[in-house]
């Protein structure tokens, strides 16, 4: 179950980037579960990583490798997170990197590993190593959709998007893929995401760009308030267009942010068991922190989320979440709440214009916006979330079976 069509549109090749996907049989025989990206010699790479203290072995190794030398290859597996696996997990991730390094005659630190799947199980290194020659042999520039499928876990459909923008008379391409459906509460970017462009961007600028883009996209989504051990979001600039851009280039940043937001919203639309895509918008707050804290309180309330699943206009649950969000000196007489275009709370109490039929009309929709107006400042923040269904419980109860 997912919200919206999931149509990816045209996925443009990014000059300098090639990719392949193969089956290593990590969890299920025949399933595409191992993806390789080749980045080209001139590519710069930046990334952000999970804030979970129990970060996975590939995250630890990826950070080390990224800091030491220009990266040349990504290797991504699904079916096994290689998290909670101790020093053996680090060595196993390194063995996978070493195989590509030896096959391509490169330093091992030029290879960045990524994993997703079940936590606490050792990585089946030999299964992955055995298929890497095939993966390297079959690299191509237009296999985005299959690679997006190859990094899925409980996702029901691939997430991929692509944009082109004209800068300095040349066409710049940005194409990305992502995965994630559960264990989604970002403290940077709760998922795996890989975004590529042929723009020429210095590494320091690239790091600023990925942080800015993540902050308006993957750091604004929540499914279940859980932060994963394995999250990584990588931005790669191949430089092949020879058009130099930085974080002050408005046209490029708008396009980059659009790609990030599209992928982030795609994760929520395909959240485990989701039947609703919900926008929580907090307006007229005193600070960004206040607005985000309130938005997440509402977005993560089990009572609000189950009411959304039931299409029940039980607006009292939203009101209660606003009241317990910890906003200092909240003047409730100034608070208004809208369900779509319907005012449900006005001046701190039920709106005299509200009726249940109007609330039901909005709640019956697959895409819903909840607006909360605090009347205490000029800040606005938006968070995207999903409902909480029977299927979410079933998926996670049966995750390892």
Dist. CA 64–CA 84, nearest whole Å: 18
Q: Is 190 tagged catalytic?
A: yes
Name the residue with tokens 């005299």: 352
Q: What is the largest CA-CA distance in the chain?
A: 73
Name the residue with tokens 């191992």: 34
Dist. CA 221–CA 271, nearest whole Å: 11
Of 149, 153, 144, 198, the C-alpha closest to 173 is 198
Tell me the backbone φ, ψ of residue 32, rounded to 5 degrees. Answer: -65, 120
Of 372, 367, 357, the C-alpha closest to 387 is 367
CB 300 within 8 A of CB 226: no
Helix (H) or strand (E) holding 160: strand 159-167
Dist. CA 357–CA 341, nearest whole Å: 13
CB 82 within 8 A of CB 264: no
Dist. CA 213–CA 193, nearest whole Å: 12
Q: Which residues of 308-322 are buried (b: 16+ CB within 10 A; e: fewer)?
A: bbebebebebbbebb
Beta strands in 261-348 (DSSP E): 277-285, 336-339, 342-346
CB 46 within 8 A of CB 20: no
Tell me the backbone φ, ψ of residue 191, rounded to 5 degrees. Answer: 165, -170
Partner residues linked to 244 by β-bridges = 200
Dist. CA 241–CA 176, nearest whole Å: 17
- Of the candidates 85, 116, 175, 190, the residue annotated as catalytic is 190
Active site residues: 190
């Amino acid at each position: 179950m997912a919200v919206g069509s999931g149509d990816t549109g045209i996925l443009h090749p990014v000059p300098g980037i090639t990719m392949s996907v193969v089956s290593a049989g990590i969890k299920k025989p025949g399933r595409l579960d191992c993806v390789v990206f080749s980045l080209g010699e001139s590519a710069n790479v930046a990334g952000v990583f999970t804030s979970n203290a129990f970060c996975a072995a590939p995250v630890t190794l990826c950070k080390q490798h990224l800091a030491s030398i220009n990266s040349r290859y990504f290797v991504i597996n699904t079916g096994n997170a290689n998290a909670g696996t101790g020093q053996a997990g680090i060595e196993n991730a390194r063995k996978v990197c070493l195989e590509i390094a030896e096959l391509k005659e490169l330093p091992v630190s030029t290879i960045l590993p990524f994993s997703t799947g079940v936590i606490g199980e050792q990585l089946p290194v030999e299964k992955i190593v055995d298929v890497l020659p095939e993966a390297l042999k079959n690299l191509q520039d237009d296999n985005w959709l299959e690679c997006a499928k190859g990094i899925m876990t409980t996702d029901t459909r691939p997430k991929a998007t692509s944009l082109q923008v004209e800068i300095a008379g040349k066409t710049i391409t940005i194409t990305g893929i992502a995965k994630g459906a559960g264990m989604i509460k970002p403290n940077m970017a709760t998922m795996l995401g890989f975004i590529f462009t042929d723009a020429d961007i210095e590494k320091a600028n690239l790091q600023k760009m990925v942080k800015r883009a993540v902050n308006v996209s993957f750091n604004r989504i929540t499914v279940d308030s859980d932060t994963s051990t394995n999250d990584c979001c990588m931005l790669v600039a191949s430089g092949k267009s020879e058009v130099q851009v930085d974080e002050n280039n408005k046209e490029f940043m708008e396009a980059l942010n659009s790609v990030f937001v599209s992928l982030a919203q795609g994760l929520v639309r395909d959240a485990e068991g989701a039947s609703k895509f919900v926008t929580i918008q907090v307006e007229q707050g005193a600070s960004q922190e206040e607005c985000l804290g309130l938005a997440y309180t509402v977005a993560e309330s089990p009572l609000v989320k189950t009411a959304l699943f039931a299409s029940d206009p039980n607006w009292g649950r939203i009101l209660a979440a606003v009241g317990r969000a910890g906003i200092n000196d909240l003047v409730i007489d100034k608070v208004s709440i809208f369900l779509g275009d319907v005012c449900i709370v006005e001046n701190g109490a039920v709106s005299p214009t509200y009726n249940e039929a109007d609330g039901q009309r909005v709640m019956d929709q697959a895409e819903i916006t909840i607006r909360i107006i605090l009347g205490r400042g000029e800040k606005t923040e938006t968070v995207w979330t999903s409902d909480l269904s029977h299927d979410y419980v079933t998926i996670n109860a049966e995750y390892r079976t």
